């Protein structure tokens, strides 16, 4: 089965068997891939170039079945600066390494990364290792 579109919502899933495709943040960004649902069904995803998936997207729907995207929890490194200066430094260091990040006003969160952890330790920026869904700030395109 090749899935070529995201079904526009809202979709009523109550009367259907739901099979979930669990994807990491990196896999959500891929428009072509072969995956298995949690029940073992192998499916191909072939979306238009540039289209990405997100948690909750419905990829297949008929009277009996829905195939739905679920974003996986991943290992994250959450930098928790104590001041505006530390926050700016954390953001600068993460950006300088071209790592995607989530920014929520209290923390800068990246996928767990030894280089970022080493920078946090060097600059004495408090951090914690957590698990969660990685939803980075979307960029508008950047190149050197």
Output the pLDDT for position 54.
Answer: 95
Q: Cβ(126)–Cβ(80) under 8 Å?
A: yes
CATH number at residue 49: 2.60.260.20
> Final residue of a domain: which of 49, 71, 93?
71
Q: What is the tens place of the pLDDT at every residue in 83-122?
A: 999 999 999 999 999 999 999 989 999 999 999 999 999 9
Listed as own residue / partner, the contacts of 28-33 with beta carbons closer than 8 Å and 24 or more positions apart are 28/52, 28/53, 28/54, 28/55, 28/69, 28/71, 29/53
The verdict on 57 and 106 lying in the same domain is no
Q: Which residues on neighbouring strands pair with residue 18, listed in sequence order?
A: 66
Which residues form the domain of 118? Answer: 74-132
Is residue 143 in some structural domain? no
Exposed (0-12), middle (13-18) or buried (19+): which is 40, by Cβ within 10 Å? exposed
Clarify whether residues 67 and 81 are in a common domain: no
9 confidence band (pLDDT: 50, 70, 90)? confident
For the segment 117-141, what is each residue's pLDDT rounded down to a tens digit?
999 999 999 999 999 999 998 755 5
Average pLDDT over residues 22-50: 95
| Domain end among 71, 99, 118 | 71
Percent of the chain with pLDDT over 90: 90
How far is the first Cα of the chain from the last one, in angstroms, to the nearest whole number? 40
43 shares its domain with 60: yes
For the chain, what is the domain count?
A: 2
Residues 80 and 59 grouped into a single domain: no
- Rounded to two decimals, the pTM is 0.85
The reported pLDDT for the residue numbered 50 is 87
């Amino acid at each position: 089965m090749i899935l070529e579109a995201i079904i526009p919502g809202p979709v009523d899933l109550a009367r259907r068997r739901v099979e979930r495709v669990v994807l990491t943040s990196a896999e959500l960004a891929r428009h072509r891939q072969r995956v298995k649902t949690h029940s073992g069904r192998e499916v191909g995803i072939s979306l238009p170039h540039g289209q990405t998936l997100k948690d909750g997207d419905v990829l297949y729907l008929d009277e009996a079945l829905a195939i739905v995207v679920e974003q996986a929890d991943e290992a994250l490194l959450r930098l928790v600066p104590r001041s505006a200066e530390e926050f700016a430094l954390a953001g600068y260091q993460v950006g300088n390494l071209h790592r995607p990040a989530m920014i929520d006003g209290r923390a800068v969160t990246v996928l767990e990364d030894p280089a970022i952890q080493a920078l946090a330790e060097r600059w004495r920026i408090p951090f914690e290792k957590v698990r969660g869904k990685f939803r980075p700030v979307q960029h508008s395109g950047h190149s050197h």
